[in-house]
Amino acid sequence: MSQSIAAHPDRLLPTDPGTRRIARALLERVQDLPILSPHGHVDAAVLEQDTPFPDPAALLVSPDHYVTRLIHASGVPLGRLRASSDAAPGSRSVWREFCAAWPLFEGTASGYWLRHQFETVFGLHHELSAETADATYDAINAKLQEPGFRPRQLFKDFNIEVLATTDDPLDDLASHRAIAQDPTFHGRVLPTFRPDQYLDIAHPRWQANVERLIGAAGDGGTGYAAYLTALENRRRYFLEHGAVSADHGVRTPATLKLDAAEAARLFDRARSGQATAQDRDDFEAHMMYQMARMSVEDGLVMTIHPGSYRNHHEPTFNAYGADTGHDIPFAVNYTEAIRPVLQDFGTAKDFHLVLFTLDETVFSRELAPLAGFYPSVYLGAPWWFLDAPDAMLRFRAAVTETAGFSRSSGFIDDTRAFCSIPARHDTSRRIEAAFLARLVAEHRVSEERAHEIIVDVVDSSPRRVFKL
Amino acid sequence: MSQSIAAHPDRLLPTDPGTRRIARALLERVQDLPILSPHGHVDAAVLEQDTPFPDPAALLVSPDHYVTRLIHASGVPLGRLRASSDAAPGSRSVWREFCAAWPLFEGTASGYWLRHQFETVFGLHHELSAETADATYDAINAKLQEPGFRPRQLFKDFNIEVLATTDDPLDDLASHRAIAQDPTFHGRVLPTFRPDQYLDIAHPRWQANVERLIGAAGDGGTGYAAYLTALENRRRYFLEHGAVSADHGVRTPATLKLDAAEAARLFDRARSGQATAQDRDDFEAHMMYQMARMSVEDGLVMTIHPGSYRNHHEPTFNAYGADTGHDIPFAVNYTEAIRPVLQDFGTAKDFHLVLFTLDETVFSRELAPLAGFYPSVYLGAPWWFLDAPDAMLRFRAAVTETAGFSRSSGFIDDTRAFCSIPARHDTSRRIEAAFLARLVAEHRVSEERAHEIIVDVVDSSPRRVFKL
Amino acid sequence: MSQSIAAHPDRLLPTDPGTRRIARALLERVQDLPILSPHGHVDAAVLEQDTPFPDPAALLVSPDHYVTRLIHASGVPLGRLRASSDAAPGSRSVWREFCAAWPLFEGTASGYWLRHQFETVFGLHHELSAETADATYDAINAKLQEPGFRPRQLFKDFNIEVLATTDDPLDDLASHRAIAQDPTFHGRVLPTFRPDQYLDIAHPRWQANVERLIGAAGDGGTGYAAYLTALENRRRYFLEHGAVSADHGVRTPATLKLDAAEAARLFDRARSGQATAQDRDDFEAHMMYQMARMSVEDGLVMTIHPGSYRNHHEPTFNAYGADTGHDIPFAVNYTEAIRPVLQDFGTAKDFHLVLFTLDETVFSRELAPLAGFYPSVYLGAPWWFLDAPDAMLRFRAAVTETAGFSRSSGFIDDTRAFCSIPARHDTSRRIEAAFLARLVAEHRVSEERAHEIIVDVVDSSPRRVFKL
């Protein structure tokens, strides 16, 4: 059992000693700033009810597709990684699988986050291994029983100031309301409006969702106009409950402005189950245009996450459902796709449009040029597969020379793994320090300015871009 | 007011001390070589007439879309960045906007160029700031009144040997002729044949341009054959006035060989205003083939600059015209697109075809393999958004392992900002030194050879590729 | 004649001294491991018959399109680089051309391999030059006469354990059989099943090949079913002769499952010369599906090499044939293309599918996510134009954070230049050491684990992935 490297103070900093010294000072400047997490997937109810975390496997392995995917690739069926509450040995067995697979995570982003959690959250100072699987299971499990390991205490210990969740448009947001009204809770837990399954007519629940939406939030009508009104009403409801953004997980960044009559025709065709593939594309693109229009009107920041082929392996989807590790990115093109929205709203007052990508090629080619001209456009932080040290450095190198530091969203952890939040933000801050330290060492930015920039990037940018 | 870092002798050199020492020696080898600028957008008349430069804002801010775009992105309408000669406070007000926005440029290529100009051309040894806006305005303005700040003196002080302009095919090139005949002017100012608006039938002025072209330079005929002849005649006129290249700003790199009858049909259809979108694409691609054919015959180097969605934001175009910061790159593919030209002319004697891209992905995938086989093909230097330190390093790393150092065009500043020329070439030379120094430190190239290579890259390559 | 840098012990290692020390130790760990070459183009007969190598030009220049292409780009017609046995001065003249062109190779991957060969295989301790062309020709030529320079002795001296060749499906594999049965030969020389010209109905020899295939290995039938059976039989034959993989050089990674009747219809249409372009695409994609199905059944590892526009310059192809340096990569997309195969076989037991690319953009975007989920999918090593130090480092940086170290194929030299094999593996091992050393220096991987990983990457991975 060798010693963990997670505690090394210089982890992820540049190898050149002179540059590393500069990076250390930059990191120190932001290391204790509060965590701002304007986009993620933690469940608000867990924080409202201060639900104790489950066992180590159910907390750290089974629900995290970043983790299960690589173990699956090594030949372990997903079924062996799902902790079932029925069978007593379930969790421990999953944990053993995970520990045996731990060497697979060397060099991966997930490996860094996990190792950092083990070290700093769970106090394990040695590397995981198959031999010590039971011991580490017991150690983590014991920690999880302690009152200090409840979500609310960790929220405080993690120094989280703002945490945004991702929510269904018809969610009553009761947990968010309860947290907001609780004088003993000092952070902010904000809902995010995520209407994908109400906009994509190919989604299996779209028709049912639209019925429910119009019924719950419409104006009495039943058609396209009522649908738009219902969406506007629910956005308003989210705003009243603290939401700052609306998030869109779309296939492509296509946007399209249709006139109301044409949009209504597509809507009606879709409701009667007669939409074609082209109808689907057009309607989804048009609804992105409508979402932009609503954002201009109500002020919700609009974020777009395109370019993932969801549920690539149908047999796995049929057996285990969505978010099980086989969403695979593909090439996207923003320049033409996003133009209809930018033509009309690109310079609209207070409109904030944060563009994410899983296709790195668009960073220098399209996103930096767009964000470097349009006041509305911000560069979404490297996300998902790109939320990793080297990929983050590539992002900064790709966009900064065109768009500077002022056009980025700030870090987005996008996680459902609550205990990984500090590790992810720590990684991001180290990489920002590493990148800036190089610019200082190359005499491209003065050390004085770099100290201002890193605070801006870590703290001021997300506040400004997400209107926190 | 902190001290500027623009004067640091090691700026942009590698951080590792041993590698930096190698880079310093390489840089010293080329630092005093004359500037060769075979492609750019300076106005020849300014040099002919030695026109005094206007005020600081009209010189450095308003006309430079690299500069105004990022200020615009921060929320300043373009109107506030246009120095108007009518309103007395115009220029000073624009300069204040610029100084207030100066922190936005940290880490950007434009920031490096500007800072270098302020330091070395205008003698400002401190960083710009909003507080000192009026003082720096006055300081620069005072310099601009001095006789030493006239274009001709700066041309000499900048150590420019060759400067190519970009010109309309019907330009009479009077300024170029006057300069060439002026015994007191020692540099070369060369015209470049740029026929985009005479080839792209979708251009609003195409029909009028073609009438003027055939009228001015045709053979008496009125159809497609006369059009080709007129183009050939104007190229000849440019050659007689010192032109070395013809430049093509096309949407895509598509080329197509049509037979004369089909080309004539498209031409006639276009002149009667009946061309379809497909006609447009085919005709433009065919005219690229014709331009290549003419280059083979007359020896003008052919340069292609594709892949930019021009005037992306129509409201801005309507208000302020073209070249106002919203040309946005998109993905291009050269391999199939350029094949018709290379099939027929790829090994033609003395044919030089310089291929540029705003899509970095084609550097290693397509351009280096093409330039590494076809004697006619040269790698255009990183351009526009990619003309920046990190992007240049990525370019070298992407192409050198396949194509070596002999297949590159040499640096292209492509600028309309005359006073930024030394800064841009200085940046390029530093990056070449940085890249080569790494190869030396990694024992991939001997130090002796590296000293030869950097001279070849900075000086011999542009002379050879552009037939200077 | 300056001293060669090929012998420097630190070549290709990181410039930072601390990181270099770590890299040296890692390299030492693997430097003496045997060479495993599971994919390449050496001729088995040469090893069987221990054929003496020809003269320096015929060995090192004329047949190597990596080498001739760059000389061709400099303006030397390919004809001057083809050593003809008819004309006595042929080889020496080619060698002089090569020596004169040697400076072109500075910074290229081919330059590293050649220099390494000259130093370590041929004992030339000084740089090539035009002046010493005859002397180096004579020196190499003399070496080639020595008994120690026969292929079998070099195979041993190079410490090659496994060498796979690439073979026609109807090859009788007599050389492989003879080698396997020769008790004096201690390495393994394995055939590889490469059926491209039997699957691509656009290939000029497809019809004739299919006739021969069905005649030689069919079941008596003449149609599509017999064709499949014949392919299965020949794969079986290859397996019996030691083959571990089937390799596919396809235009795109498209795969498609057709029902048998539809596939038979396309097959029949193609045999009667009536297939359309769409038929061609569909049939080739379907045959990739069939090859995957057969691999699942018979256990041959499936490797796919797509994305090269073969014989881009038709005049050169007409004069000199294929593999003459003008295969040019283009953009590929794996995510959708490979899905039909992965839907059905992505988790099939012991199915190994190694995906290669010449388009670097798919490494982080598609291949790492695919290999990080599907147990069948492995990342093919950087190949062809990407088989170069910086490109290999980009590969590792692009894929490791998503897929770790366990999902890569291990190094593939893919060469027909037998004497370059040690140089290529040496380069790869140095780059693995360089990459891992950085991770150690950044405290991302412990030094202890890095020493295990480099052995896994260099030795265990190819054994595991290629079932050696």
Average pLDDT value for residue range C259-287: 96
The tens digit of pLDDT for each residue in A397-444 reads 999 999 999 999 999 999 999 999 999 999 999 999 999 999 999 999
Q: Minimal Cα distance from A390: which residue of C?
A: C397
Chain C nearest CA to B238, separation (Å): 27
Six token digits for residue C56: 């320096």
Q: How far is CA A227 from CA A217, A231, A257, A281, B266, in A?
A: 9, 6, 17, 18, 48
Chains adjacent to A (≥3 CB pairs closer than 8 angstroms) = B, C
Test C366 with A330 for CB contact under 8 angstroms: yes
Chain A nearest CA to B245, separation (Å): 27
* Residue B444 exposed, middle or buried by CB count within 10 Å (0-12, 13-18, 19+): buried
Six token digits for residue B365: 């995938």
Test A401 with B17 for CB contact under 8 angstroms: no
Q: Minimal Cα distance from A15: which residue of B?
A: B16
Cβ pair A214, A230 in contact under 8 A? yes
pLDDT band at A7 (very low <50, low <70, confident <90, very high): confident
Q: Which residue in the set A331, A364, A444 is minimally distant from B12, CB to CB?
A: A444
Q: Minimal Cα distance from B351: which residue of C?
A: C75
Q: Minimal Cα distance from A14: which residue of C?
A: C442
Element (H, E) at C87: none
Q: In terms of Cα–Cα distance, which of A442, A456, A444, A438 is closest to A22?
A: A438
The tens digit of pLDDT for each residue in A31-84 reads 999 999 999 999 999 999 999 999 999 999 999 999 999 999 999 999 999 876
Following DSSP, what letter does each residue of A221-274 receive, concatenated? --SHHHHHHHHHHHHHHHHHTT--EEEE--SS-------HHHHHHHHHHHHTT-
Domain ranges in chain B?
A: 52-147, 152-465
pLDDT band at A88 (very low <50, low <70, confident <90, very high): very low
pLDDT band at B41 (very low <50, low <70, confident <90, very high): very high
Please, what's the b/e burial string for A50-70 (b: 16 or more CB within 10 A of its CB; e: otherwise)?
A: eeebbbbbbbbbbbbbbbbbb
* Residue A276 exposed, middle or buried by CB count within 10 Å (0-12, 13-18, 19+): exposed
Whether C88 shows a pLDDT value over 50: the answer reads no
Q: Which residue in the set A112, A314, A385 is minimally distant from C402, CB to CB?
A: A385
pLDDT band at C1 (very low <50, low <70, confident <90, very high): very low
Test B19 with C17 for CB contact under 8 angstroms: no
Test B108 with A404 for CB contact under 8 angstroms: yes
Test A107 with C405 for CB contact under 8 angstroms: yes
The tens digit of pLDDT for each residue in B263-287 reads 999 999 999 999 999 999 999 999 9
Class for the domain spanning A53-149: mainly alpha
SS (H, E, C) A296-351: HHHCCEEEECCCEECCCCHHHHHHHCCCCCCCEECCCCCCCCCHHHHHHHCCCCCC
Interface test with chain C among A113, A312, A428, A431, by most C beta carbons within 10 Å: A312
The pLDDT value recorded for residue C84 is 66
Q: Which residue in the set A72, A315, A360 is minimally distant from C373, CB to CB?
A: A72
Test B373 with C10 for CB contact under 8 angstroms: no
CB atoms within 10 A of CB B382: 30
pLDDT band at C187 (very low <50, low <70, confident <90, very high): very high
ipTM: 0.97
Q: In terms of Cα–Cα distance, which of B178, B169, B176, B171 is closest to B190?
A: B176
State how far the Cα of B383 lies from the Cα of A369, in Å rounded to an integer: 13
Test C313 with B342 for CB contact under 8 angstroms: yes
Six token digits for residue A465: 């871009």
The tens digit of pLDDT for each residue in C158-179 reads 999 999 999 999 999 999 999 9
Which CATH code, of 3.10.180.10, 1.10.2020.10, 1.10.645.10, 3.30.1360.30, is assigned to C54-149? Answer: 1.10.2020.10
Test B343 with C2 for CB contact under 8 angstroms: no
State how far the Cα of A113 lies from the Cα of A13, in Å rounded to an integer: 16
Test A73 with C374 for CB contact under 8 angstroms: yes
Whether A361 shows a pLDDT value over 90: the answer reads yes
Following DSSP, what letter does each residue of A179-197 receive, concatenated? HHH-TT--SEEE--B--HH
Interface test with chain C among A330, A364, A392, by most C beta carbons within 10 Å: A330
The tens digit of pLDDT for each residue in C304-353 reads 999 999 999 999 999 999 999 999 999 999 999 999 999 999 999 999 99
Chain B nearest CA to A349, separation (Å): 9
Chain A nearest CA to B13, separation (Å): 6
State how far the Cα of B329 lies from the Cα of B319, in Å rounded to an integer: 22
Which CATH code, of 3.20.20.140, 3.40.50.11260, 3.40.50.300, 3.30.460.10, is assigned to B152-465? Answer: 3.20.20.140
Interface test with chain A among B27, B385, B386, B394, by most A beta carbons within 10 Å: B385
Test B11 with A444 for CB contact under 8 angstroms: yes
Q: What is the CATH number of domain B52-147?
A: 1.10.2020.10
Test C444 with A127 for CB contact under 8 angstroms: no
The tens digit of pLDDT for each residue in B397-430 reads 999 999 999 999 999 999 999 999 999 999 999 9
Test A385 with C400 for CB contact under 8 angstroms: no
pLDDT band at A2 (very low <50, low <70, confident <90, very high): low
Interface test with chain A among B112, B320, B328, B358, by most A beta carbons within 10 Å: B328
Q: Which fold has domain C155-465?
A: TIM Barrel (3.20.20)
Average pLDDT value for residue range B308-330: 96
Q: Minimal Cα distance from A314: which residue of C?
A: C343
Chain B nearest CA to C361, separation (Å): 7
The size of the A-C interface in CB pairs under 8 A is 146
The pLDDT value recorded for residue C89 is 53
Interface test with chain A among B12, B20, B106, by most A beta carbons within 10 Å: B106
pTM: 0.97
B contacts of C12 (beta carbons < 8 Å): 442-444
- Those residues with Cβ within 8 angstroms of residue C339's Cβ, 6 or more apart along the chain or in another chain: A309, A312, C255
Six token digits for residue B185: 């002017």
Cβ pair B53, B144 in contact under 8 A? yes
State how far the Cα of C232 lies from the Cα of C193, in Å rounded to an integer: 11
